[in-house]
Amino acid sequence: MFPASFRSRLAVLCVAASVALVGSSVFAQDNKPKTADPPSTEATQPQAQPSSAPAQNSSQPPAQTPAAQDSSPTQPASDTAKDSAPAQDATPSADAQNDSKKSKKAKKKEKEDEQAAAQADPQDPLKRPLSTDQKKKNAKGLKQELSKTYKKWLDEDVVWIITDEERAAFKQLSNDEERDQFIEAFWQRRDPTPDTVENEYKEEHYRRIAYANEHFAAGIPGWKTDRGRIYIMYGPADEIDSHPSGGTYERPVEEGGGTTSTFPFEDWRYRYIEGIGQEIIIEFVDTCMCGDYHMTMDRSEKDALLYTPNAGLTLYEQMGMASKADRFNGGLERLGAGPFTATNQSKEFDRLEQYAKLNRPPTVKFKDLEEVVSHKISYNMMPFDVRADFVRVTGDTVLVPVTVQIKNRDITFANKEGVERGTVNIFGRVTTLSGRIAQTFEDTVQADIPAELLPRSAENSQIYWKALPLRPGHYRLDVVVKDVNGDRVGTWSKSLMVPDFGDDRLTNSSLIVADEMEPVAAKNVGTGMFVIGTTKVRPRVAAADGKPVSFKRNQKLNFWMQVYNLSVDEKTHKPSATFEYDVVNEATNKQVVHTVESTDTMGNVGDQVTLQKTLAAANLPPGLYKIQIKVNDNLSKQTVDPSATFQVE
């Protein structure tokens, strides 16, 4: 049989195989996952491989193989679950997007259907009732549409004369065409002579504004002051008692009598004001002593010693019959006790009523005027020259003086009782770019020259002058001149750009070179030919061929200009500016005249200054010259330097 050594080796191998099989079974049971097959199936797996067990005698134990087999199928199953989850979530998102697109298309379709239905609706959309929001939106749009030009007309030009009803009606207008028609009707209702072309009321109104700006400025434009307002509304007073420096004042008995010291004040007396009464006395007091007079109901307000104990006593107070402290016991005025105390107290309501009436716009005389005047212009040849200047009245109104110059040699003279008479009819019209008539004027110029002097006066000229108030903007000016005796007609047309003298920058009027310049009497201020404010200024008109105005050496040259919007110091209420006048010979470019002025030497001036200079032509050799006026505003650091040319023969 087999040797003993062989049998012993075989026994050892069998024992080792049994031990390996038992260890493999235990290891498999410890590492078996919960998702594994039932134990009965696992138990048979090791027993099915008894013959292969000895062959797996290596560093890797055979028991690891079942564990690796159990874990490997588990991981792919988990990955599959993760991959499938997003796919399930993505499906609802795509559906939602599709639904959203469909919803937008549906809404758009519904809107188009509503618009189509509205168009098909036979009802007029303009007649449909507006919602509250739409009404507010429309009101806001209309407010914004009220442009700066019309706002200035409402708040500056006619602020003192427009009635509350007219103001409310103007604010309800929806477009510029309606506003233009309203403004035209506004002036027509006040025209005292509706059968004539001129509107005397309108011309007088703007003359008053110009006068107020010239004389009542006090750190603010003259039209804004109380004196300017009363002057614009009611015209010049019949009598003015002025105390420009204040000082010692003997009170009348009705004010308590006695002597006191006063601030500057003025009493304006009107014999009659329509709608207010007779013997109207209006008092203005300058309590700040800066030129700013304000209207007052209290006649004691001018008393500079009112709050000084035992000073400026009335007659009763001097005699011990009254105490100065009694003045402050209430009442409209603080005049103190006197013989007329009872009378003054009984008239307090009359003074209140008068004060209220003075603050109302003047009554409108002509309310039902509706008249349209049209003119036809014919064209023929007759030479004449035209000049237009620009002078500010308010921030939104410009006075445009139009000067027409006709040489005597171009006028047909007819002898009448030894006198040669020439007659010329002049008609002018200012229209907007849209063709609306803004202003018209017509007049007759007549020249009477002795027959023996006619040949020597052939080179002299006849001059016609008309001042037209216009708003800033672009216009067309047409002028027609007819020689009555010669039956000849000449025409002149030119674009007219009226400047905007706004309040935001330093600016100036036209620089006028005049052959006559002189102050006018108080009763003629602002009225008559060539009168601008308080001065008569007759311009020289340059020829149409471009030649400058010319002067003989025996004549005087006059220069007139206004400066606007000078900055005013808040403390002194005065501007600070210098004005340099330079006359330069154009041929040699040499300065022949140089003069400097300052507002410091001009007295009480405001933001507007009128410059006037006269120069004898005899001091200049014959030649072509340029006058330049340079204005330097020391406060705003702004400068303007207008110029004009002239010739000395």
Give the per-residue SS3 of 532-556.
ECCEEEEECCCCCCCCCEEECCCCE
77, pLDDT greater than 80: no
Are residue 546 and residue 428 in the same domain, yes or no? no
For residue 448, give both structure tokens: 């009477």
Sequential DSSP letters for 408-432: GGGS-EEEETTEEEEEEEEEEEEEE
Please, what is the Cα angle at 293 between 288 and 296, to 5 degrees?
A: 100
* 39: region left, alpha or beta (phi > 0 left; psi from -120 to 50 alpha): alpha
pLDDT value at residue 88:
42
Supply the pLDDT for residue 11: 59
Last residue of one domain, picked from the residues 71, 98, 118: 71
Helix (H, G, I), strand (E, B) or coil at 299: helix
**Same structural domain for residues 516 and 481?**
no
pLDDT band at 5 (very low <50, low <70, confident <90, very high): low
User: Is residue 444's pLDDT more than 70?
Assistant: yes
Which residue type sits at 493?
S
- 15-19, 276-280, 474-478: the lowest-pLDDT one: 15-19
Separation of alpha carbons 66 and 585, rounded Å = 123
Whole-angstrom distance, CA of residue 599 vs CA of residue 577: 6
Task: Report the distance separating Cα 420 and Cα 408, nearest Å.
Answer: 11
- 128 within domain boundaries: no
Same domain, 301 and 384: no
Q: Does 96 reside within a domain?
A: no
Q: Quick check: 347 and 366 in contact, CB under 8 A?
A: no
Q: Rounded mean pLDDT of the chain?
A: 78
Between CA 236 and CA 57 the distance in angstroms is 138
pLDDT at 119 over 70: no
Mean pLDDT of 21-50: 44
Query: Per-residue pLDDT for 99 more than 60?
Result: no
Tokens 């002579």 belong to 193
Q: How many residues does the chain have?
A: 649
The pLDDT of residue 1: 47
Contacts of 262 (CB under 8 A, 6+ apart): 243, 246, 247, 249, 302, 303, 304
Q: Which of 477, 501, 525 is the last residue of a domain?
A: 501
Q: Is residue 321 part of a domain?
A: yes
- Write the pLDDT tens digit of every residue in 508-548: 999 999 999 998 887 777 677 888 888 999 999 988 778 89
Worst-scoring range by mean pLDDT, 128-132, 260-264, 400-404, 584-588?
A: 128-132
Domain assignment of residue 112, yes or no: no
Whether residues 530 and 644 share a domain: the answer is yes
pLDDT the model gives residue 27 = 44
3-state secondary structure of 161: coil
Instruction: Give the least confident one: 158-167, 186-195, 271-280.
Output: 186-195
With 0.85 as the threshold, say if the pTM is over it: no
**Neighbour count for residue 619 (Cβ, 10 Å):** 12
The overall longest dimension of the chain from CA atoms, in Å, is 193
Q: Above 50 in pLDDT, residue 432?
A: yes
In a domain, 162, yes or no: no
One domain, residues 526 and 557: yes
Q: Are 613 and 581 in contact (CB under 8 A)?
A: yes
Q: For residues 520 and 534, is the Cβ–Cβ distance under 8 A?
A: yes
Q: Please enumerate in sequence order all residues whose Cβ is within 8 A of that of 354, keeping only pairs 6 or more positions apart, or say none.
A: 276, 277, 280
Mean pLDDT of 1-15: 54
Rounded Cα distance between 332 and 347, Å, is 10
> What's the domain count of the chain?
4
Residue 146 lies in a domain: no
CA dist list (Å): 174 to 138, 393, 434, 647: 10, 27, 19, 53
Please check whether residues 350 and 402 belong to one and the same domain: no
User: Per residue in 377-387, is it b (16+ CB within 10 Å) or e — as a string?
Assistant: eeeeebebbbb
Same-domain check for residues 564 and 469: no
Structural domain ending residue among the three candidates 501, 529, 546: 501
Note the pLDDT of residue 189. 84
* Full residue range of the structural domain in which residue 426 is found: 374-501
Report the pLDDT value the prediction gives residue 486, as an integer from 0 to 100.
Answer: 83
Q: 626 Cβ partners below 8 Å, 6+ apart?
A: 583, 584, 586, 643, 644, 645
pLDDT digits (tens, 9 = 90+) for 48-70: 344 333 344 433 444 443 334 44
CATH of the domain at 385: 2.60.40.10
Domain match, 397 and 527 both:
no
φ, ψ dihedrals at 81, nearest 5°: -65, -40
Q: Are residues 429 and 537 in the same domain?
A: no
Distance of CA 592 to the CA centre of its chain: 42
